[in-house]
Amino acid sequence: MIIITAPVPEFLITTFQNKGFVVLYEPEITYDQLHEEITSATGIVVTTRIKLDRPLLQKAEKLEWIGRLGSGMELIDIPFAESKNIKLISTPEGNRNAVAEHCMGMLLSLLQNIHKSSIEVSKRIWKRQENRGYELDGKTVGIIGYGNTGQRFSELLTCFNATVLAYDKYKFDFGAGKIKEANLDQIKKYSDVISFHLPLSEETTHFANEEFFAGLEGKPVIINSSRGKIIDTSALIKALKQNKISGAGLDVIENENLESHTKEEKKQLKFLCSRPDVIVTPHIAGYSYEAFQKMSESLLYKLNINYTF
C-alpha cells in the first residue's frame, strides 16, 4: 500500500494503481491518523505537512520508501529512516523553476516599487517621482545556498545582466561567466540583493541573525523562499527599522500556522505586512501548477516507474 498525505495530480494515483499498488489517498490525514495506517504502507508521499519522526517510523514495519514532493527533508528523521533501510526520495527538480520565478517576481516588484505604488494607487495616491525604481541590470545578487533553486535563480538573473555572487559551504568550482563563487564576507560587502536558498537544519537556523545584518555594508534587498527559520524575524525587523536593508521579499515565515501565533508573532507579522518595502506570500513559491505536475513526475522517475498522462 502507498499512502499519499497531500494533494497530488490524478495521474500519480492512477499510475500507482495501474502498477498494482493499493493507494490510500488522504491529503488531509493527521499525524495521529497516520499512526494507524502506516503499519501497512510500503511507500508514503509527503510534503511539509506531516512530520515523519521516530515514533511514527517505528510503526512503519513494511515501509520501503518515502517520497518528498519538493525539497527539504527536515520533517523526516533521516538517520532513523536510513537505519531501517528506507529509501529517501526528494524532488527539488520539480519546483526549482517555480521558486526561482517567484523570487524574481518579488525582487522586481521591490526594486521597481510595484508593490508599494500599487498600494498607494488603491488609496487614490498617485506618485511618480517618489516611486522611481531601480533596474536589475548591472546589479550584484548574492545567493546563499547553491542547490537546485539557487542555481535556477542564478540562471534567471544572468538574463538580466546581473552579477551573481554564490556561496555554498558544500560546493566548489561552480563559478562561470557572471556567476562567481564567493564567501559570506564578499556577499555582505558587495550585494545589492541577498537571496537565501538553504535547507533548514541546526546549522542554518537563524543563519540571518543580528550579527549577519550588522555585517552588511550596503543596503541589500533580502529574499527568502527557503524556510522561515533561516531568518531571525526579530533581527530582520531590527534591520528594517535601522535602514540596514532596502526591503524584503518573504515567501516563508518562522511560524506559518497563523492560528498558533503568539502575541509577539502577531505583532511581527502585522509590522512586516504594513511595510510598503516588504512582500509576504504564503509559502507558494514552489506551488505553481507546473511544479504540481513536475514533482510527481520526478518521484515516479526516481522510483523507476513509467507513466503516461
CATH number assigned to the domain comprising residue 190: 3.40.50.720
132-138: Cβ within 8 A, 24+ apart = 135/111, 136/107, 136/108, 136/111, 136/160, 136/162, 137/161, 137/162, 138/162, 138/163
In a domain, 304, yes or no: no
From CA 37, how far away is CA 45, in angstroms rounded? 13
Does the residue 251 lie in any domain?
A: yes
Give the dihedral of Cα atoms 123, 129, 131, 135; nearest 10 deg.
160
Which range marks the domain in which residue 11 is found?
A: 2-90
Q: Say if residue 127 is in the same domain as residue 69.
A: no
- Residue 309's pLDDT is what? 61
Instruction: Please state, in angstroms and rounded to a whole number, the distance separating the CA atoms of residues 206 and 295.
Output: 28
Q: Could you tell me if 2 and 42 are in contact, meaning their C-beta atoms sit under 8 angstroms apart?
A: yes
Among 36, 63, 90, the domain boundary falls at 90
Please tell me the predicted confidence (pLDDT) of residue 39.
95
Same domain, 219 and 111: yes
Q: Tell me, what's the pLDDT at 233?
A: 98
297, part of any domain? no
**Is 298 inside a domain boundary?**
no
pLDDT tens per residue, range 61-107? 999 999 999 988 999 999 999 999 999 999 999 999 999 999 999 99
Q: What's the structural domain count of the chain?
A: 2
pLDDT in the model for residue 48? 87
From 90, 119, 152, give the residue that closes a domain: 90
Do residue 57 and residue 124 come from a single domain? no
Same domain, 39 and 129: no
Q: Are 45 and 2 in contact (CB under 8 A)?
A: yes
Closest CA relative to residue 303, chosen from 10, 30, 89, 47 = 89
Provide the whole-model pTM: 0.94
The reply to whether 108 and 236 lie within a common domain is yes
Strands ordered across the beta sheet of 193-196? 179-181, 163-167, 140-144, 193-196, 221-224, 247-250, 278-280
Torsion angle of alpha carbons 148, 204, 258, 69, nearest 10°? 30
Q: Which of 277, 194, 261 is nearest to 231 (CA)?
A: 194
pLDDT-flagged residues of the chain (< 50): none
Contact 280, 250 (CB under 8 A): yes
Element spanning 220, H or E: none
Residues 152 and 114 in one domain: yes
Q: Does one domain contain both 245 and 107?
A: yes
For position 307, what pLDDT does the model report?
75
The number of angstroms, rounded, from the C-alpha of 46 to the middle of its chain's C-alpha atoms is 16
